[in-house]
Amino acid sequence: MKVKEMTESYIVYRRSLGEKYITGAAMLRCFAKHIGGDTDAMEIGTGACSAFLYGKDGKVTASWFLRYSALKWMFEWAVVRGYMEEIPLPEEKPRQPGHMTPYIYSKAELKKLFGAAMTYQKNRSKIPPECMQMILKVTYFLGLRIRETVSVRMDDLDLKESHVIIRESKFNKTRVVPFNHQVREMLQGFAGWRASMHPGHKEGTALFLDRAGQPICLDTVRGCFQRIREAAGISRNDGACYQPRLHDLRHTFAVNRLTAWYREGKDVQKLLSSLSTYLGHDKISNTSVYLTMTDELLREASERFKAYSNGEET
């Protein structure tokens, strides 16, 4: 059996059990693309699996263990059915990385990222620069998970009503994410560019497409982002073992929103519930992960507390 056929059969099997199986399916499809969909499943080797697990930079991240788990379950399923003779995964697992401290991008760094997305390509990437830039902007301005961004379809986007529907994301929840007129104008411009590049791809197709008109693989986006970040000259100098990530755009959105509320004199405790809903969390405690205390946030919170102590607020 070919790898692509085996992968799709396994995804159908998992979903037949009542699972949504979105994240695992995306990872396995990326694996099939990485190894070659026409490769015979019997020929999958440990070296190819290790290359997929470690990625281009060879580092151990949380994604390593998610990929390993997805492959392990599929291989076990395949061995039982005779599609494979053994499980070609490395026998020893690396040590799991410690807790990741989010990196909060400054406004200047965000501008550098968006600019570098248009100019970073030394060789032609599978993702057009206009598309890659918009992926980064949508992820930040709407506070989305990167998987949510690349999963948006044309019929999920309502430019007239200024909202996008995020379907069956984490926690199997669907939510409506509104945006302001500035984001609407930004998306309208991108929609016009997309129509000129892919005139036959309308409702029902992915909003973000590669040069061949195919939905974009999440690992490809992550690889492009690392090159963009390096081209923008953004790195950590706090001793952390992780460089700034794509997911940190979502952290930055949450922190900037909280900081703005403090500055505007809003009741932040009450608004946390709204932020939690907007981010797609099922409880406020999940949102607290994003509220990294930056110097600016601490300063605004301190000023708010000082005003409260002096009786200037009620």
What pLDDT score does 301 carry?
A: 59
- What is the distance between the alpha carbons of residues 4 and 276, in angstroms, rounded to a whole number? 38
Least confident of 72-81, 113-122, 179-188, 270-279: 270-279
Tell me the mean pLDDT in the region 170-182.
86
241 vs 100: CA distance, rounded Å: 8
**Residue 309 pLDDT > 50, yes or no?**
no
Q: Residue length, the chain? A: 314
**How far, in Å, CA of 185 to CA of 80, rounded?**
53
Chain Cα centroid distance, residue 85: 34
Its pTM stands at 0.70
What average pLDDT does the segment 282-296 reach?
67
Q: What CATH number is given for 107-232 in this structure? A: 1.10.443.10
The domain limits of the chain are 3-80, 107-232, 248-309
Over residues 148-156, mean pLDDT: 93
Largest distance between two CA atoms of the chain: 74
Q: What is the pLDDT of residue 123?
A: 67
- Per-residue pLDDT of 238-280, as tens digits, reads 767 678 999 999 999 988 888 888 888 888 778 888 888 888 8
What is the separation of C-alpha 88 from the centre of its chain, rounded to a whole number of angstroms? 28
pLDDT of residue 302: 59
Q: What is the pLDDT of residue 99?
A: 64
| Alpha carbon distance 256, 275 (integer Å) | 12
Q: Which of 187, 135, 138 is nearest to 159 (CA)?
A: 187
Q: In the predicted model, is pLDDT for residue 27 greater than 80?
A: yes
Q: What is the mean pLDDT of residues 54-76?
A: 87
28 touches 92 (CB < 8 A): no
Residue-wise DSSP of the chain: -BHHHHHHHHHHHHHHTT----HHHHHHHHHHHHH-TTSBGGG--HHHHHHHHHTTTT---HHHHHHHHHHHHHHHHHHHTTS-SS--S-SSPPPPP-PPPPP---HHHHHHHHHHTTT--SS--SS-HHHHHHHHHHHHHTT--HHHHHH-BGGGEETTTTEEEE-S-GGG--EEEE--HHHHHHHHHHHHHHHHH-TT--TTSBSSB-TTSPBPPHHHHHHHHHHHHHHHT----SS-SS---STHHHHHHHHHHHHHHHHTT--HHHHHHHHHHHHT-SSHHHHGGG----HHHHHHHHHHHHHHHTTS--
pLDDT top residue among 9 and 271: 9
Q: For the ranges 37-46, 136-145, 168-177, 193-202, which has the lowest average pLDDT?
A: 168-177
pLDDT of residue 277: 85
Q: Which of 73-82, 107-116, 261-270, 284-293 has the lowest mean pLDDT?
A: 284-293
The CA distance from 96 to 232, in Å, is 29
